[in-house]
Amino acid sequence: MDSLFTGILQELISGLALGCIYALIALGFTLIYKASEVVNFAQGELMMVGAYVNYFLITSFMAESGEPTGWIFFAGFIGSIVFAVLFGWFLDRIINRPLKDEPVFSVIMATISLSIILRAIVAMVAGPMSLIPFTPFGNQIIAIGSIVISILDISIIVSAILLVILFYYFFNKTKLGIAIKATSEDPIAAQLMGIAVKRVYGLVWIFSAIVATTSGILLAPRMALLDTSMGFLGLKAFPAAVLGGFGSITGAIAGGIVMGVIETISMGTLSFYFSWIKEINDIIVWIVLIAVLMVKPDGLFGVEKVRKV
């Protein structure tokens, strides 16, 4: 019984770290949808591109100094964020603005096409071989009794918490954040009140790219290998956004954490004690999503929309 409890507690911590990454990816989905009602199916690929950019920046800096240092990782992170800002601005110009008033199906197909194009470009530039990402923490761990926690997982959890606090402050305490919230509620009314709606949409795509890049930087060392299949993890974060309530920032965070914990425990302790769970590990998040939506169709934190006739 003690070993079972220890195993579940160990997996809860690991699942929380994975869930934080899912939460950040789901947050990227939510930011764009909340402001412009566009579902960006290329969010996972934005995460992948950010991880590759970070890898190549660190590799370039290491070629100059000869060994990885804390400053090199910091410089790689800052460089990746700068790239994310420019890339988010570019995507707003080529996808969001030209297709803003077009049918939703056109926008969805554009983001799906973007995801395929990004995977192909990264495969051509980086080559077919998987890469080993760098981490400033190595294999460092903290042992608390029989529970072992990796420094990497702790850094992921702390980074996610800091980023969420930063976004909370931005959206509730700054003029730009309040403008984004106003635009998401009613873009026409926001425009009549003098808010530059197009600028708001551009900022949302930039923030979404920043969140995706941060997620990729945090996830790559945890995966131990960096390849183009990393983008498909965005599909796992999508049900997390839906589970929490699509369009709800709080829901995206909660949904990501729930999904990460469930996936980790099902792959670990539950698979050990119930062998049949191994067969459904790849779809267990979707099973949980369907079960929750049957009870709460709008998600855990979703708000039911009332249509006036």
Count other Cβ atoms within 10 Å, centred on residue 46: 30
Query: Is the model's pLDDT at 306 over the cut of 60?
Result: no
Query: In whole numbers, what is the pLDDT of the chain averaged over residues?
Result: 82
Domain for residue 262, yes or no? no
DSSP 228: G
Query: Is the model's pLDDT at 194 over the cut of 90?
Result: no
Q: Where does residue 108 rank: exposed (0-12), middle (13-18), buried (19+ CB within 10 A)?
A: middle
Least confident of 10-14, 58-62, 138-142: 138-142
pLDDT at 127: 81
Mean pLDDT throughout 31-55?
Answer: 86
> What are the backbone angles phi and psi of residue 196, rounded to the nearest 5°?
-75, 95
pLDDT at 31: 81
pLDDT tens by residue, 27-38: 888 888 877 777
> Reduced to 3 states, what is the DSSP secondary structure of residue 194?
coil
Query: Is the model's pLDDT at 294 over the cut of 90?
Result: no
User: What is the CA angle 269-264-32, rounded to 5?
Assistant: 165
Domain for residue 255, yes or no? no
pLDDT at 80: 93
Nearest CA-CA partner of 53 in 168, 128, 131: 131
Nearest CA-CA partner of 285 in 253, 238, 216: 238
Q: Where does residue 105 rank: exposed (0-12), middle (13-18), buried (19+ CB within 10 A)?
A: exposed
Count other Cβ atoms within 10 Å, centred on residue 131: 16
Domain for residue 156, yes or no? yes
pLDDT tens by residue, 149-161: 888 888 888 888 8
pLDDT at 2: 60
pLDDT at 3: 66
Domain for residue 294, yes or no? no
The proportion of the chain whose per-residue pLDDT surpasses 90, expressed as a percent, equals 11
pLDDT at 309: 46
Query: Is the model's pLDDT at 148 over the cut of 80?
Result: no
Q: Which long-range contacts (CB under 8 A, 24 or more apart) does 88-92 make?
A: 88/202, 88/205, 88/206, 88/207, 88/208, 88/209, 88/210, 89/202, 89/205, 89/206, 91/205, 91/209, 92/201, 92/202, 92/205, 92/206
- Spatial separation of the C-alpha atoms in residues 68 and 119, rounded to whole Å: 28
- Spatial separation of the C-alpha atoms in residues 115 and 44, rounded to whole Å: 8
Place of tokens 């926690």: 149
Domain for residue 282, yes or no? no
DSSP 300: S
Non-local (6+) Cβ contacts of 144 within 8 A are: none
Query: Is the model's pLDDT at 4 over the cut of 70?
Result: no
Domain for residue 105, yes or no? yes
Least confident of 45-54, 81-90, 294-303: 294-303
Non-local (6+) Cβ contacts of 112 within 8 A are: 41, 42
**H-run or E-run covering 141:** strand 141-144
* Structural domains counted in the chain: 1
Instruction: Name the residue range of residue 55's domain.
Output: 18-231
Q: Which amino acid would we find at residue 278?
A: K
Domain for residue 26, yes or no? yes
Non-local (6+) Cβ contacts of 294 within 8 A are: none
pLDDT tens by residue, 81-134: 999 999 999 988 888 888 877 777 788 888 889 999 999 999 898 887 888 887
Query: Is the model's pLDDT at 79 over the cut of 90?
Result: yes
DSSP 277: G
Mean pLDDT throughout 225-253?
Answer: 81
Domain for residue 308, yes or no? no
Query: Is the model's pLDDT at 1 over the cut of 60?
Result: no
Nearest CA-CA partner of 29 in 287, 252, 255: 252
pLDDT confidence band for 304 (50 / 70 / 90): low
DSSP 135: -
More confident residue, 204 or 139: 204
pLDDT tens by residue, 15-29: 888 888 888 888 888
pLDDT at 135: 79
pLDDT tens by residue, 201-214: 888 889 889 999 99
